[in-house]
């Protein structure tokens, strides 16, 4: 790592030179002009005017600050992101540009979120701000964009806050209690937030499957399934800030998450056509524990010349433990299979990085940085079947994965006038991994040079009318779950039975190569003094070495019969384009002044088109990307602190040709969220809210065509679930 040490030494030397010596005689003052737009995406201090920050950014940027987080009183960060234009929520993961599965990068304080991290359990009360960055940047990379969640910092004044929420969803009540205390004494500031929570959820679904058994006979079965998920946990995110003189600050951010889960379910199979299966009824019980410890240190040095150096390091550890029991019964109700399973996963992540910024003149600034990261992943799965410990293939055998990532980038920012800003950067990435376990040890290394260019033009001095353009290259490396070469059997078919291709087992592929992406962004934005926004943006992506899952019939050591297995492969090339429209308008009450009283109208429309070249079908789109998405919302605030609002989100049904013979269909999804809140003088704020108010059922279908034209298919109908929440917030 000599080049990292040399880079840090050079940056420190530049900062250490006195201003009178560092400036050349002909150079302009080192501090950049106040009117020059800033290309710095990560902001080190809180700003009250997120709208101004959005206007001045060279990249497409949306910032959700504390005011917005407090206004709606959400208990889940996913509910916050669901209202952001251009963000889709698919299950418990957010998507940008309609793309998930690694295309959307999730960061916590600028560092990648750990495996197993659940955003649904992250309390908005512990968040300082959320930055949604559309498209790749020199600092963060990313393909579709980045969602950076910044945890709460130490307040300037002493503050204690209590938040309580009670909710109901599906099967049982759930609740949360958050207590935070922040203060500052001299040079030391701290913020200590603790959240205790429980959750409860469930689903009822019905699936009809048509397939052929090992003898070639057609079978049709209907499976009714009921699942229940219960759990409890805690989150503690302390932060300490030290001010070391006028130029230096030292920060420590901790994060502890731990939760326990208790899951149960049953599955009943009805034969519609063909021979009956051996197992007609199955039931399972499972429990698990997951824990995360994370420590992050940051030192920032500022020079009188406007230069800046930041050094950071982080260490985190994750642990997952689980065990379960399942039983299978025949048509007469007699038990025919009994299984006991257990698994454990351990993860360790170490990272170190730095950022430097050096003004060269009034209009030019050089900046750059580096990131080094190592991740270790170890796991094992055990299975006892009818009292016999199974040791076949991936069962009873430890698996391990090691990934290393190195990034260095250099960026030149140039603001030739008050209305023009240019940012040109070169980002170098080196990525390698090693997996061990059956069938052996695999090692691979990849490297890439990724240029990024952003241009911003303001049509007026205030920056109310802005045009942005970007040309970029980026890389998406597969996560460890796609690389580990171990099988995971589908539970809907006993291992003694050949499963259907529409209910395949899964396996990783250690030979996967990273995806390479070239992108183009063009966006126009007009903002109003009252916070209103009108914008239109176009993007295009070309993806090479596209990662896609393919299904094939394989002989696996975990089962005595051949099984259908879904395995990721590098398929070829794909293209994705989109048009994103956003409109937000605020109508303040007469005489409200700078108060929030008034009505805010919000709407966003995203249109997407994508195509996979290796598949000859008009529906050969990128996986999970809908053709369009619409968001409509309105919020009313009164001067007395009362508020009410509602948001409608709709995604149409669409079909995806997954491979030459596999097709997926997802039904339309409509979600309505609403809330009403009011303040009680001297007490606090109360809020009632509903998520997915009308809870429509969701339908999906998958089909695989055989060579002779036979279609194996599965049609699923899943009941919708609404969540009702009552919450209370007080500060003292």
Domains by residue range for the chain, with CATH: 2-731 (2.40.170.20)
Q: How many whole angstroms separate alpha carbon 291 and alpha carbon 684?
A: 33
Cβ atoms 311, 299 nearer than 8 A:
yes
* Cis ω for the linkage preceding 25 (within 30 of 0): no
pLDDT at residue 564, rounded to an integer: 86
Q: How many whole angstroms separate alpha carbon 478 and alpha carbon 177?
A: 37
Q: How many whole angstroms separate alpha carbon 37 and alpha carbon 32?
A: 9
Residues (pLDDT < 70) of the chain are 1-48, 72-73, 101, 116, 121, 214, 591-595, 707
pLDDT at residue 116, rounded to an integer: 66
Q: How many whole angstroms separate alpha carbon 412 and alpha carbon 363?
A: 11
Give the helix/strand (H/E) hosting 325.
Answer: strand 308-329
Give the helix/strand (H/E) hosting 482.
Answer: helix 480-483
Q: Which two tokens stand for residue 129?
A: 């701000």
pLDDT at residue 593, rounded to an integer: 56
Task: Give Cα separations from 387 to 85, 611, 722 (angstroms).
Answer: 54, 50, 41
pLDDT at residue 1, rounded to an integer: 41
pLDDT at residue 73, rounded to an integer: 63
Q: What is the C-alpha end-to-end distance of the chain, expressed in Å?
A: 49
Q: How many whole angstroms separate alpha carbon 415 and alpha carbon 33?
A: 9
Number of CB atoms found within 10 A of residue 55's CB:
21
Three-state SS letters, 579-637: EEEEEEEEEECCCCCCCCCEEEEEEEEEEEEEEECCCCCCCCCCCCCCCEEEEEEEEEE
pLDDT at residue 27, rounded to an integer: 33
Cβ atoms 52, 59 nearer than 8 A:
no
From the number of C-beta atoms within 10 Å of its C-beta (0-12, 13-18, 19+), residue 60 rates as buried
Q: How many whole angstroms separate alpha carbon 450 and alpha carbon 471?
A: 11
pLDDT at residue 68, rounded to an integer: 78
Which of helix, strand or coil describes residue 3? helix
């Amino acid at each position: 790592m000599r080049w990292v040490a040399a880079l840090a030494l050079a940056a420190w030397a530049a900062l250490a030179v006195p201003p009178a010596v560092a400036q050349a005689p002909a150079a302009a003052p080192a501090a950049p002009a106040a009117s020059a737009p800033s290309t710095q995406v990560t902001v080190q201090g809180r700003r009250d005017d997120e709208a101004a920050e959005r206007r001045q950014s060279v990249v497409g940027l949306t910032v959700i600050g504390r005011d917005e987080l407090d206004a709606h009183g959400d208990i889940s960060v996913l509910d916050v992101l669901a209202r952001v234009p251009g963000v889709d929520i698919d299950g418990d993961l957010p998507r940008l540009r309609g793309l998930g599965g690694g295309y959307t990068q999730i960061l916590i304080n600028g560092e990648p979120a750990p495996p197993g991290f659940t955003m649904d359990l992250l309390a908005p009360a512990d968040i300082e701000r959320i930055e949604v960055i559309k498209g790749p940047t020199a600092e963060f990379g990313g393909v579709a964009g980045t969602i950076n969640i910044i945890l709460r910092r130490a307040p300037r004044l002493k503050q204690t806050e209590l938040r309580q929420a009670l909710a109901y969803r599906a099967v049982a009540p759930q609740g949360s209690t958050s207590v935070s205390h922040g203060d500052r004494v001299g040079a030391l500031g701290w913020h200590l937030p603790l959240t205790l929570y429980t959750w409860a959820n469930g689903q009822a679904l019905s699936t009809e499957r048509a397939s052929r058994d090992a003898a070639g006979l057609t079978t049709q079965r209907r499976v009714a399934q009921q699942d229940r998920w219960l759990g409890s946990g805690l989150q503690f995110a302390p932060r300490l800030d030290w001010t070391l003189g006028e130029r230096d600050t030292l920060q420590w951010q901790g994060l502890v998450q731990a939760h326990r889960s208790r899951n149960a379910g049953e599955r009943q199979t009805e034969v519609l056509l063909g021979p009956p299966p051996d197992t007609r009824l199955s039931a399972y019980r499972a429990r698990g524990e997951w824990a995360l410890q994370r420590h992050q240190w940051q030192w920032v040095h500022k020079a009188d010349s406007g230069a800046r150096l930041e050094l950071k390091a982080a260490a985190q550890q994750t642990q997952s433990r689980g065990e379960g029991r399942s039983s299978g019964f025949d048509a007469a109700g007699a038990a025919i299979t009994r299984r006991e399973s257990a698994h454990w996963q351990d993860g360790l992540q170490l990272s170190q990085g730095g950022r430097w910024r050096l003004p060269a003149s009034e209009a030019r600034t050089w900046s750059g940085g580096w990131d080094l990261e190592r991740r270790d992943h170890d796991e094992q799965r055990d299975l006892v079947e009818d009292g016999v410990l199974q040791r076949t293939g991936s069962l009873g055998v430890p698996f391990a994965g090691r990934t290393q990532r190195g990034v260095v980038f250099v960026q030149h920012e140039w603001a030739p006038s008050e209305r023009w800003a240019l940012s040109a950067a070169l980002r170098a990435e080196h990525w390698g991994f090693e997996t061990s376990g059956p069938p052996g040890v695999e090692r691979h290394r990849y490297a890439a040079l990724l240029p990024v260019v952003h241009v911003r033009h303001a049509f007026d001095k205030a920056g109310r009318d802005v045009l942005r353009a970007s040309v970029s290259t980026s890389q998406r490396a597969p996560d460890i779950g796609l690389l580990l070469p171990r099988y995971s059997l589908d539970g809907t078919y006993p291992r003694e039975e050949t499963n259907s291709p529409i209910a395949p087992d899964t396996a990783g592929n250690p030979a996967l190569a990273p995806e390479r992406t070239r992108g183009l962004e063009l966006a126009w934005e007009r903002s109003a003094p009252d916070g209103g926004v009108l914008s239109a943006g176009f993007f295009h992506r070309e993806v090479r070495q596209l990662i896609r899952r393919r299904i094939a019939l394989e002989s696996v050591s975990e089962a005595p019969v051949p099984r259908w297995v879904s395995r990721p492969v590098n398929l070829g090339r794909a293209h994705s384009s989109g048009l994103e429209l956003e409109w937000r308008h605020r109508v303040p009450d007469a005489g409200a002044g700078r108060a929030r009283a008034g009505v805010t109208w919000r709407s966003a429309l995203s249109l997407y088109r994508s195509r996979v070249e290796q598949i000859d079908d008009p529906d050969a789109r990128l996986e999970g990307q809908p053709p369009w998405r619409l968001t409509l919302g309105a919020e009313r605030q009164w001067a007395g602190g009362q508020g009410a609002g509602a948001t409608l989100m709709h995604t149409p049904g669409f079909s995806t040709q997954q491979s030459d013979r596999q097709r997926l269909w997802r039904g339309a999804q409509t979600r309505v969220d609403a809330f009403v809140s009011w303040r009680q003088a001297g007490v606090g704020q109360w809020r009632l809210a509903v998520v997915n108010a009308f809870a429509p059922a969701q339908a999906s279908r998958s089909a695989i065509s055989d060579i002779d034209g036979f279609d194996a298919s599965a049609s699923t109908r899943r009941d919708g679930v609404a969540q009702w929440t009552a919450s209370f917030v007080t500060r003292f």
